Amino acid sequence: MSKKIHWGIIGLGSIAHKFAADLQRSDSAILHGVASRSMEKATEFASRYNAKKAYDSYEKLVNDPEIDVVYIATPHVFHFENTMMCLQKGKSVLCEKPMGIDTQQTQTMIAEAKARNLFLMEAIWTRFMPSIEKMLQLLNEKVIGDISSVHADFGFRTEFDPESRLFNKKLAGGSLLDIGIYPIFLSLLVLGIPSDIHAVARMTPTEIDSFCAMLFHYSTNEKAVLTSTFEANTPTEAFIHGTKGSIKLHRSFHEANTISLDIDGEITVFDLPHTGNGYVHEIEEVNRCIRDGKTESATLPLAFSEQLIKIIDRVKAEIGLKYS
């Protein structure tokens, strides 16, 4: 059996719990260490998920020589400094989305990883879902003909709390960066880079977007209609429409277990369950890449993350969203 990859986790919030549970489901991964700003939290987390080491500072974890790769699970605004610290200490990184809060941060992170010959990937777990692989296969086989449009929404209702990660401008809150990234990801995967972007938003008193509607136009005339919101429980589905039919990614499309193909009203349903909480697929990709000495994933390359944040920056400019 080949060497297991030793993982560390920085920032022990809600996503870190789901991710750690999935690390336990991977035969090729070991959760070696976890780091929190609180020792009590780190100790409790380590014992729950069988991590060997618990650290009360992110820096201490990064200095652990046994860790191969660090998963960054802090709020968006800390991804840059946390990732740069890991890379500068020789660690590979899987960084939660969005990798940086703007293009400049993201490009600096990518350049640092490349200069140090270290693995770096944005944790867009959706890219590794069996449902997305099936969707791409159907699109490549032109089963729905030529693509004409992508429609995707992501919305949930949550009370306005100016201090929370979702609404706090200092933590780079807003629906666009937090969940709008998924519809944009899908449009980039399926249609590439838009030539024109139109977007409107509703802003909160904390000056972040609680609702964002986007319309993308492509040079070959396809369209994407995308929304994100913290104001309502929207269907959170996605549709790819083509000249011969449509593909639907069922709720919640970013972790879809089911897709359906509609050709002139004849529906074929594909059940494609993800493993565990859905993070196992991206974990296996990182393990494979690191074991094979790769510095980026061919399935989710760094150039894709750079394009993704460039599109997000264009949307931000349209809606007047600015982070300091």
Which of 7, 49, 55, 78 binds ligand NAP (CB under 6 A)? It is: 78
Q: Which stretch binds ligand NAP (CB under 6 A): 5-13, 188-196, 234-242, 307-315?
A: 5-13
User: Tokens representing 216?
Assistant: 């993308």
Pairing of strands 258-263, 246-249: antiparallel
List 123, 176, 256, 315, residue binding ligand NAP (CB under 6 A): 123
Closer by beta carbon to ligand NAP, 122 or else 296? 122
**Terminal CA-CA length for the chain:** 48
User: How many chain residues interact with ligand NAP (CB under 6 A)?
Assistant: 21
Looking at the Cβ atoms of 62 and 144, the one nearer to ligand NAP is 62
Residues 136-165 that bind ligand NAP (CB under 6 A): 165
Q: Which residues pair with 238 in a beta bridge?
A: 152, 249
Q: How far apart are CA 208 and CA 11, in angstroms?
A: 23
Q: How far apart are CA 227 and CA 15, in angstroms?
A: 23
Q: Is 199 in the site for ligand NAP (CB under 6 A)?
A: no
Could you give the string, one character per residue 40-59, with x where binding to ligand NAP holds by CB under 6 A and - elsewhere? -x------------------
How many degrees, rounded to 5, is the angle at CA 249 between CA 244 and CA 253? 150
From the list 22, 50, 110, 49, the residue with the least C-alpha distance to 287 is 22
H or E element: which one contains 40? Answer: helix 39-48
Amino acid present at 222:
E
- Min dist CB 87 to ligand NAP, Å, is 18
Q: Which stretch binds ligand NAP (CB under 6 A): 7-15, 134-142, 285-293, 299-307?
A: 7-15
Give yes or no for residue 11 binding ligand NAP (CB under 6 A). Answer: yes
218 or 279, CB closer to ligand NAP?
A: 279
Q: Cα 209 from chain centroid?
A: 19
Strand order in the sheet with 246-249: 196-203, 209-217, 223-229, 147-155, 238-242, 246-249, 258-263, 266-271
Name residues contacting ligand NAP, limited to 232-251 (CB under 6 A). none
3-class secondary-structure state, position 241: strand
Q: Which residue is nearest to ligand NAP (CB)?
A: 13
Count CB atoms within 10 A of the CB of residue 222. 20
Q: Which C-beta is closer to ligand NAP: that of 121 or that of 261?
A: 121
**Both tokens of residue 82?**
């946390």
Residue of 97, 151, 250, 314 interacting with ligand NAP (CB under 6 A): 97
Q: Which is nearer to ligand NAP, 76 or 281 (CB)?
A: 76
Q: Of these, 3, 24, 37, 196, which contacts ligand NAP (CB under 6 A)? A: 37
* C-beta of 73 vs 309, nearer to ligand NAP: 73
Interaction site with ligand NAP (CB under 6 A): 11-16, 36-38, 41, 73-76, 78, 96-97, 123, 125, 165, 178
